[in-house]
Amino acid sequence: MTSARRCSRTACGRPAVNTLTYVYADQTAVLGPLATYAEPHAYDLCEAHSERLSAPRGWEVMRLAPDPSTLEPSSDDLLALADAVREAARPAAPVAQTDGLQTETGRETTRRGHLRVLSSD
């Protein structure tokens, strides 16, 4: 990987910053981060030509943010948190799955893993 990628437009020798990929099945031109390897129907574009990009008539142009995974925190943590909240908010499990902790006042205590759900009066 020593050769610099160049814009594929005719008479343009500027460094390529984006890769334009034509998705013929969807009639969509996808402009995204520089592809790591050459694909068919993919063209490297410099910044100027990326901005002036025009798709064929009837086509849509989809512009992808430059690698969102590096700009935003991973959603895994949020998903895990959401799962934990849902787990805690779940209605009491069927009696067969509880540890049988039931007081004489009718309050049930259900253990779910390390979580304990107490019914409120």
Binding region for Zn ion (CB under 5 A): 7, 9, 12, 14, 46, 49
Cβ closest to Zn ion, residue 53 vs residue 93:
53
Cβ closest to Zn ion, residue 22 vs residue 49:
49
Amino acid at 110: T
Whether the CB-CB separation of 120 and 106 falls below 8 Å is answered with no
Partners of residue 32 on adjacent β-strands: 19
Please state the closest distance from residue 48 (CB atom) to Zn ion, in A. Answer: 6
Instruction: Report H helices in 18-101.
Output: 47-51, 68-71, 75-89
Please state the closest distance from residue 54 (CB atom) to Zn ion, in A. Answer: 13
Please state the closest distance from residue 58 (CB atom) to Zn ion, in A. Answer: 24
